[in-house]
Structure 1
Amino acid sequence: MLYRLFPIIIVLILAGCEDDISLSNGTVTQLGDKGILIGHFSQDGTKLVTVDSSNSLSVWNSDTRAPEFTVPQDKMPDMVREVVLSKDNNMLIVVGDNQLRFWSLTSKKLVTKVNFTGVSGYGYISSVALSPAMDKIVVAMSDGTVNMAHLHTQVNNQFAPHSRPVMHVEWDDKGELFLTAAQDGKLALWRFGSPEPVFTKEFNHRVTSLAVRNDFSEFFVSDALDNQVIASLIDGADKSELKYMARFKVFRKALFIEQSRLLATSSSKSQLTIWDTKSGNELGTWQINTVNSGATIVDMYAPSKEKLVTLSSDGLLEEWALNMLANRR
């Protein structure tokens, strides 16, 4: 029996060696020294917005890594639930429990405040998404409520399609459709203004991660245990399922690498994993650079199919060379 196992062990060792490809080009810089609670790259990657542990919000230039604007502390909500940058990088939305504060980044002034509530009266804002044309906004709540508001007409259509906090909202590239995913395990595609879903998908556990392609052709969704799929945004049909050896994996952030078959995901720990979207195969898992134990990836940006930049909860910007995975499937 030992002789029969020996070749298998050798194969496993060699397979493990193949995963030792070094993707990281190292830490680029560290944004502040107080850790990052919330962090987002702008859509074009030229800006970064962060909220640190002292409730300080800064907008950074991605090239110079210098802060361009900091919201005055007396203008900050007691708890920041989310921050949103407009597509043109001229508008910043700071989200509190029940209020959106709109800032002009060109004039660096607070423009207006808008309040939102749930149907229950006790819900707080759990996720916000601004349309590409910046004329519509979806404000989702912890009680499962979804507000669909026109910023110009100030008309708000409110309905409650979920029973638990809605943690993910994603617009299409035309500003007509949007996805919601919640802790009740439900995901749905909606046409703005309509309470009837285009399609729905249900999972056994809460949805922890959601990502869409820029052209809105497909999406990645993960529940909290063992269901991670890439599906079509035409009808929600599964196209592939992620495959891995562990009994289950926890997925937090996710990003499609445009013009490629790659999907990047982060775990609840200090790990980055790259997947093949066609086969669902795991191409490898790598440790991010950390300052503190338990650091995680808070956001990712891919300027090209050959490069990925991650932002960690330590405030570290780290670059990754994805071209090393070109021949792996």
Structure 2
Amino acid sequence: MLLRLIPLLVVLLLVGCDDEVELSQGTISQLGDKGVLIGHFSQDGSKLVTIDSANVLTVWDSRSMEALFTVPQNKMPELSREVVLSKDNNMLIVVGDNQLKFWSLATKKLVTKVSFSGVSGYAHITSVALSPSMDKIIVAMSDGTVNMAHLHTQVNNQFAPHSRPVMHVEWDDKGELFMTAAQDGKLALWRFGSPEPVFTKEFNHRVTSLAVRKDFSEFFVSDALDNQVIASLIDGADKSELKYMARFKVFRKALFIEKSGLLATSSSKSQLTIWDTKSGNELGTWQINTVNSGATIIDMYAPSKEKLVTLSSDGLLEEWALNMLANRK
């Protein structure tokens, strides 16, 4: 019996050693001392927008970490739901319960305010996405309503494809198609202006995470329990399913590492996990640097296929060397 256990113990020891691969290059900056409630990197990674616990919004230069623009608390919504940066980094949208405030970063002035509602009177905004061409906007609501608004013509097509809050909206790279995913477990691809889905997928539990590749070729979606898949954006067909030893995992943020077969995900705790998108295999899970217990990853940006930068709720920017995974796949 003892002899039969020896090979198993050797395998376990080897697995344990493999888990010691260090990806973190350490904290590269801390954004203030009030933490970060909402934070997003710009599409090109050159800017970073944060809202801290005092409800102060700051736009940062992500290279120098210099504060470029600040919206003081008295000009912010009472409850900030989201912030959106335009693709050209010139327009900033601050989202309140039922109103969008458009700021010009060039002039540092408030340009206009636009209100949105749901089908029900109690609905508030839950997710906003601005098209790459900055002429269309999707405003999703807590009652499952989706507003498809054209900013130039001011025409808003409203429909209610979901029965629960719509927490995720993603545009394609041309500004013609968009995805929605909600707490009702439904995900769908839509053509702007049409209430008929290109395709739909349904899950047993609420959708907690959604990410798409920049070329809109595939997407990652996770429900709240044990269904995490990478699927085609042609017809929604599954391409791979994430595999892990635990009974279930909770997924929050997710990011495809462009020009690679890697996917990065964050948990509800202080963990970063890297996956092989083709096999669905877990390549490893690492703890982020934290100041306070319970800190989580707020957003991620990959400047190259070899580097990842994470922003935590502590306001810590941490760099990760993805090239260290080369021999692990």
Q: Same fold (TM over 0.5)?
A: yes
Q: Is residue 2:311 matched to residue 1:283?
A: no
Q: Distance between the aligned counterparts of 1:229 and 1:144, measured in 2?
A: 23
Partner of 2:320: 320
Partner of 1:61: 61
Contact 2:41 2:299 in 1 (8 A): yes
Q: Distance between the aligned counterparts of 1:258 and 1:317, measured in 2?
A: 20
Amino acid at match of 2:88: D
Partner of 1:49: 49
Q: Distance between the aligned counterparts of 1:81 and 1:14, measured in 2?
A: 46
Cα shift at 1:3: 2.7
Q: Can you list the C-alpha shifts for 1:257-279, whole angstroms capped at 9, x where unaligned?
A: 00000000000000000000000
Q: Distance between the aligned counterparts of 2:37 and 2:229, measured in 1?
A: 27
Cα shift at 1:75: 1.2
Partner of 1:167: 167
Q: Distance between the aligned counterparts of 1:226 and 1:292, measured in 2?
A: 28
Q: Distance between the aligned counterparts of 1:137 and 1:2, measured in 2?
A: 66
Partner of 1:218: 218
Amino acid at match of 1:17: C
Cα shift at 1:12: 1.3
Q: Distance between the aligned counterparts of 1:99 and 1:69, measured in 2?
A: 21
3-state SS, counterpart of residue 36 of structure 1: coil
Once the two structures are superposed, the pairs formed by residues 64-103 of structure 1 within 5 Å of their partners are 64-103=64-103
Identity of aligned residues (%): 86
3-state SS, counterpart of residue 11 of structure 1: helix
TM-score (norm: length of structure 2): 0.99
Contact 2:139 2:146 in 1 (8 A): yes
Amino acid at match of 2:259: Q
Q: Can you list the C-alpha shifts for 1:34-66, whole angstroms capped at 9, x where unaligned?
A: 010000000000000000111010000001101
Amino acid at match of 1:219: F
Cα shift at 1:72: 2.5
Partner of 2:274: 274
Cα shift at 1:2: 3.4
Amino acid at match of 1:212: V
Amino acid at match of 1:278: K
Q: Distance between the aligned counterparts of 2:213 and 2:304, measured in 1?
A: 14
Q: Can you list the C-alpha shifts for 1:109-143, whole angstroms capped at 9, x where unaligned?
A: 00000000000111000000000000000000000
3-state SS, counterpart of residue 13 of structure 2: helix
Amino acid at match of 1:254: A
Q: Can you list the C-alpha shifts for 1:180-220, whole angstroms capped at 9, x where unaligned?
A: 00000000000000000000000000000000000000000
Q: Distance between the aligned counterparts of 1:271 and 1:9, measured in 2?
A: 27
Cα RMSD for the two superposed structures: 0.6
Q: Is residue 2:229 matched to residue 1:229?
A: yes
Contact 2:129 2:137 in 1 (8 A): yes
3-state SS, counterpart of residue 37 of structure 2: strand
Partner of 1:176: 176
Q: How many residues align?
A: 329
Structure 1 segments of 4+ aligned residues over 2 angstroms from their partners: none
Cα shift at 1:313: 0.2
Partner of 2:154: 154
Q: Distance between the aligned counterparts of 1:248 and 1:73, measured in 2?
A: 40
Partner of 2:260: 260
TM-score (norm: length of structure 1): 0.99
Cα shift at 1:74: 1.8
| Unaligned residue ranges in structure 1 (runs of 5+) | none
Q: Distance between the aligned counterparts of 1:130 and 1:326, measured in 2?
A: 35
Once the two structures are superposed, the pairs formed by residues 125-164 of structure 1 within 5 Å of their partners are 125-164=125-164
Partner of 1:302: 302
| Unaligned residue ranges in structure 2 (runs of 5+) | none
Contact 2:266 2:297 in 1 (8 A): yes
Q: Distance between the aligned counterparts of 1:268 and 1:2, measured in 2?
A: 40
Contact 2:186 2:201 in 1 (8 A): yes
Partner of 2:3: 3
Contact 2:54 2:73 in 1 (8 A): no
3-state SS, counterpart of residue 120 of structure 2: coil
Q: Distance between the aligned counterparts of 2:201 and 2:217, measured in 1?
A: 16
